[in-house]
Structure 1
Amino acid sequence: MENQKNFGRLNMAYRLFYNALMEGGIERIVVAANQVFNRPVLVTDANYHLICQFPKASIGNAIWDHMFENKILPAETIWEYQVKYLNDHVDMYKPFYADWGIVEDCPRIFGEITNHKQILGHIAIFLMDQPLEDDDLEIAQIFIDTLRIEITKRQSLYGNWSSSFSTYLLDLLDPSVSFSEKHIARERLQHKIAGNYILITTPNENKASHKAFASYLVIEFAQRYRNVVSVLYEDCMVTLIGGVYVNKGKLQNSSLTTEIINILEKHDLISGRCDCFSQLDEIHLRYRQALLTAKIAIAKKDTSLGTFMDYAPMQMFLQFTGKDIPKIYIHPILDQIRKYDLENNAEYYNTLRTYIMSICNRNTTATQLSIHRNTLSYRLNYIRDLFDLSFEDEKTVLHLICSFLLIEANNMM
Structure 2
Amino acid sequence: MKTQMIYEVLLTAIQDNNFDNLQSTIQAILELPFVICDNNYNVVMQVPQQYYQDELWDSMLKHKTVIPEMVYLIQKDRYQEALDQNDNIIYIDYGIGERIQRIVASIRFEEKVVGYICVLLTDRKVSDDEFERIEILIKFLSLYLSKHIVPHIPNNDMYFHLQDIFANNDIRREDLKNHIIKSITELNGGFVIAYTSVIDKSNEIVYLYQLFNHVNRLDYIHPILDDNHLYLLFTDVKGTDLRSFIQKRLKPILNQTKVVDLSFGISNYFTSIHDILTFKQQAIHAHSFTDNHDYCFFKDVAVEDLFTQIQKSDENNLYLLPALEVLKDYDKEYNSNYMFTLEIYIKQLCSSQDTCQILNIHRNSLLYRLDKIQEITSLNLKDKKVITQLLCNFYIYY
| TM-score (ref. length: structure 2) | 0.59
- Post-superposition shift, 1:292? 0.8
1:199 aligned residue: 194
1:307 aligned residue: 297
What is the aligned counterpart of 1:92 among 80, 83, 98? 83
What is the aligned counterpart of 1:247 among 240, 243, 246? 240
Change (3 A) 1:392 1:103: closer
- Post-superposition shift, 1:43? 4.5
Distance (whole Å) between structure 1 residues aligned to residue 9 and residue 387 of structure 2:
69
Distance (whole Å) between structure 1 residues aligned to residue 75 and residue 258 of structure 2:
22
2:281 aligned residue: 285
Q: Equivalences for 1:268-279 in 2 at 5 Å?
A: 271-276=264-269, 279=273
What is the aligned counterpart of 1:122 among 112, 116, 125? 116
Change (3 A) 1:262 1:348: same
What is the aligned counterpart of 1:61 among 38, 50, 53? 50
- Post-superposition shift, 1:390? 8.9
Indicate yes or no: 2:359 matched with 1:371. no
Distance (whole Å) between structure 1 residues aligned to residue 168 and residue 127 of structure 2:
40
Q: String of CA shifts for 1:300-348, please: whole Å, max 9, x gaps.
A: xxx5432221122324566799x9x979688363343211123234443
Distance (whole Å) between structure 1 residues aligned to residue 231 and residue 18 of structure 2:
27
Distance (whole Å) between structure 1 residues aligned to residue 382 and residue 194 of structure 2:
40
Does the 8 Å CA contact 2:42/2:65 hold for their aligned counterparts?
Answer: no
- Post-superposition shift, 1:91? 0.8
Change (3 A) 1:99 1:259: same
**SS of equivalent residue, structure 1 residue 309:** helix
Indicate yes or no: 2:339 matched with 1:349. yes
Distance (whole Å) between structure 2 residues aligned to residue 194 and residue 138 of structure 1:
55
1:183 aligned residue: none
Number of residues of Structure 1 aligned to a counterpart in Structure 2: 364
Does the 8 Å CA contact 1:200/1:271 hold for their aligned counterparts?
Answer: yes
1:337 aligned residue: 327
Change (3 A) 1:214 1:255: same
1:411 aligned residue: none
Distance (whole Å) between structure 2 residues aligned to residue 12 and residue 304 of structure 1:
51
Distance (whole Å) between structure 2 residues aligned to residue 104 and residue 341 of structure 1:
55
Distance (whole Å) between structure 2 residues aligned to residue 363 and residue 82 of structure 1:
42
Letter in structure 1 aligned against 2:363: I
1:47 aligned residue: 40
**SS of equivalent residue, structure 2 residue 363:** coil
Distance (whole Å) between structure 1 residues aligned to residue 237 and residue 301 of structure 2:
21
Q: Equivalences for 1:186-265 in 2 at 5 Å?
A: 196-201=191-196, 214=207, 218=211, 221-222=214-215, 225-228=218-221, 241-247=234-240, 251-252=244-245, 254-260=247-253
Does the 8 Å CA contact 2:374/2:380 hold for their aligned counterparts?
Answer: no
Among all aligned residue pairs of Structure 1 and Structure 2, give the percentage whose two residues are the same amino acid.
Answer: 19
2:375 aligned residue: 382
Letter in structure 2 aligned against 1:133: S
- Post-superposition shift, 1:123? 3.3
What is the aligned counterpart of 1:83 among 66, 73, 97? 73
Indicate yes or no: 2:64 matched with 1:73. yes
- Post-superposition shift, 1:220? 8.5
Does the 8 Å CA contact 2:37/2:117 hold for their aligned counterparts?
Answer: yes
| TM-score (ref. length: structure 1) | 0.58
Does the 8 Å CA contact 1:92/1:112 hold for their aligned counterparts?
Answer: yes
Letter in structure 1 aligned against 2:193: I
Letter in structure 1 aligned against 2:83: M
Distance (whole Å) between structure 1 residues aligned to residue 72 and residue 354 of structure 2:
49
What is the aligned counterpart of 1:132 among 117, 126, 142? 126
Distance (whole Å) between structure 2 residues aligned to residue 118 and residue 294 of structure 1:
26
Structure 1 unmatched ranges of 5 or more: 180-185, 409-413
Distance (whole Å) between structure 2 residues aligned to residue 361 and residue 104 of structure 1:
57
Structure 2 unmatched ranges of 5 or more: 172-179
- Post-superposition shift, 1:194? 6.2
Letter in structure 2 aligned against 1:162: P
For the aligned residue pairs, the C-alpha RMSD in angstroms reads 6.1
Q: String of CA shifts for 1:337-385, please: whole Å, max 9, x gaps.
A: 2111232344431343234324456786678664348646633532442
- Post-superposition shift, 1:61? 2.9
**SS of equivalent residue, structure 1 residue 132:** coil
- Post-superposition shift, 1:45? 3.1
